[in-house]
């Protein structure tokens, strides 16, 4: 755009109605709450180093909660550096008594088959499970192909795939996972399917669950929506399918954990760590003020002298 274009441009029209309200709420979060959010976000991750995440995992193990460790590097980090972090995680988990597995990101490896093979072989030798996270629907195919490559170097029992319920292709991915015998984590999905942007998240989630029920090796139900997670686990148990509830450390967990314990469902917490997660977490908080308020509320809750919780 030329300087003339800049000098004659006008201010963009401000959104109105519900859209405008959401926009103003995000603006308020950005300007008023950002310092608190930056502090709060650090309370809900495993730290920048693997050792920090292992400390969190050990604390959770003491509470009877299994874990997933997920390394997040900064954007455009060299894939060799990311692979080395995965190898370090495998090494540490392989000699640890923790009930924990490693969640990896195919795009962070730039879908490099040689690095994927190296990581898979190391995991197989150490007896550590790897699970490939989901990202946008446009890279779901390459991610699945990378798991195919890894299956040449590790058993299906040590590999897994995340399947989002909101994508039309997910039922086919569920069939693929069943055929290969890999483990599955089912999520509602962060990124919409361009071919079905208005697809109902709960319906899609449960459709994937039904496709896996009675067929899959093991299913991790990843949802903080207690009624939906409860229904998914009910269907999987009715079909005799091994399953558990998986939650994200940085979101509200108490209602879900209470439900799981009342119903004798195994709980696992995803513990993100690395320099790349804090910027991502802050971005998500800015986009969802409701979560931001929840975290800040927890941040300013303290114990009184008699041991009772109080909120400033």
Spatial distance between the Cα atoms of 67 and 235, rounded to a whole number of angstroms: 24
Calculate mean pLDDT across residues 174-201: 94
Q: What is the mean pLDDT of the chain?
A: 82
Structural domain total, the chain: 1
Interval 51-63: pLDDT, tens: 999 999 999 999 9
pLDDT of amino acid 275: 84
CATH number of the CATH domain containing 173: 3.20.20.220
**Which H or E element spans position 158?**
none
**Segment among 2-16, 97-111, 148-162 with least mean pLDDT:** 2-16
Asked, for residue 281, whether it belongs to a domain, the answer is no
In angstroms, the CA 92 to CA 119 distance is 14
Query: Would you place residue 252 in the very low, low, confident or very high pLDDT band (cuts 50, 70, 90)?
Result: confident
Position 295 in a domain:
no
Going by C-alpha positions, the residue among 86, 100, 184, 99 that lies closest to residue 144 is 184
199-235 confidence digits (pLDDT tens): 999 999 999 999 999 999 999 999 999 999 999 999 9
Where residue 310 falls among pLDDT bands split at 50, 70, 90? very low
pLDDT digits (tens, 9 = 90+) for 93-116: 999 999 999 999 999 999 999 999
| pLDDT > 90: percent of the chain | 65
211 within domain boundaries: yes
What gap in Å lies between CA 149 and CA 144, rounded to an integer? 9
pLDDT band at 73 (very low <50, low <70, confident <90, very high): confident
Q: Would 215 be classed as within a structural domain?
A: yes
Asked if pLDDT for residue 159 goes beyond 60, the answer is yes
pTM: 0.78
Does residue 285 form part of some domain?
A: no
* For residue 279, pLDDT beyond 80: no
Residue 162 has pLDDT above 50, yes or no: yes
**Given a cut of 90, is residue 312 above it in pLDDT?**
no
Residue 36 lies in a domain: no
Contact 218, 184 (CB under 8 A): yes
Position 40 pLDDT exceeds 90:
no
Query: What per-residue confidence (pLDDT) applies to 24?
Result: 53
Separation CA 212–CA 219 (nearest Å) = 8
Residue 48 pLDDT grade (very low, low, confident, very high; cuts 50, 70, 90): confident
In a domain, 195, yes or no: yes
Instruction: Please choose, from the candidates 96, 115, 95, the residue with its C-alpha nearest in 3D space to the C-alpha of residue 106.
Output: 115
| Domain of 119, in residue numbers | 49-274
Q: Which residues pair with 182 in a beta bridge?
A: none
Q: Between residues 4 and 122, which one has the greater pLDDT?
A: 122
Q: What are phi and psi of 217, to 5 degrees?
A: -65, -50
In which band, very low, low, confident or very high, does the pLDDT at 76 lie, cut at 50, 70 and 90?
confident
pLDDT band, very low/low/confident/very high, at 132 (cuts 50, 70, 90): very high
* Confidence check: pLDDT of 308 > 50: no
247 domain residue, yes or no: yes
Average pLDDT over residues 23-28: 52
């Amino acid at each position: 755009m030329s300087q003339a274009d800049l000098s004659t441009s006008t201010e963009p029209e401000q959104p109105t109605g519900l859209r405008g309200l959401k926009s103003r709420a995000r603006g308020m979060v950005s300007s008023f709450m950002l310092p608190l959010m930056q502090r709060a976000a650090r309370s809900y991750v495993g730290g920048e180093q693997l050792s920090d995440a292992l400390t969190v995992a050990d604390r959770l193990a003491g509470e009877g909660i299994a874990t997933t460790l997920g390394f997040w590097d900064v954007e455009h980090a060299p894939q060799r550096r990311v692979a080395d972090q995965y190898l370090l995680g495998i090494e540490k988990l392989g000699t640890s008594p923790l009930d924990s597995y490693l969640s990896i990101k195919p795009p962070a490896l730039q879908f490099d088959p040689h690095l994927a093979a190296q990581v898979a072989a190391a995991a197989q030798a150490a007896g550590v499970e790897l699970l490939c996270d989901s990202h946008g629907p446009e890279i779901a195919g390459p991610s699945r192909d990378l798991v195919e490559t890894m299956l040449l170097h590790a058993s299906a029992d040590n590999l897994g795939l995340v399947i989002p319920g909101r994508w039309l292709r997910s039922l086919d991915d569920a069939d693929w996972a069943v055929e290969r015998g890999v483990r599955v984590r089912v999520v509602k999905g962060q990124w919409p399917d361009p071919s079905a942007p208005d697809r109902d998240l709960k319906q899609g989630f449960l459709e994937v669950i039904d496709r896996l029920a009675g067929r899959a090796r093991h299913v991790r139900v990843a949802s903080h929506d207690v009624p939906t997670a409860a229904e998914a686990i009910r269907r999987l148990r009715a079909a005799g399918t091994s399953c558990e509830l998986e939650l994200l450390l940085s979101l509200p967990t108490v209602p879900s954990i209470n439900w799981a314990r009342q119903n004798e469902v195994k709980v696992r917490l995803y513990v993100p760590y690395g320099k790349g997660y804090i910027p991502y977490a802050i971005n998500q908080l800015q986009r969802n003020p409701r979560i931001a308020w929840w975290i800040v509320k927890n941040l300013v809750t303290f114990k009184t002298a008699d041991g009772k919780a109080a909120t400033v």
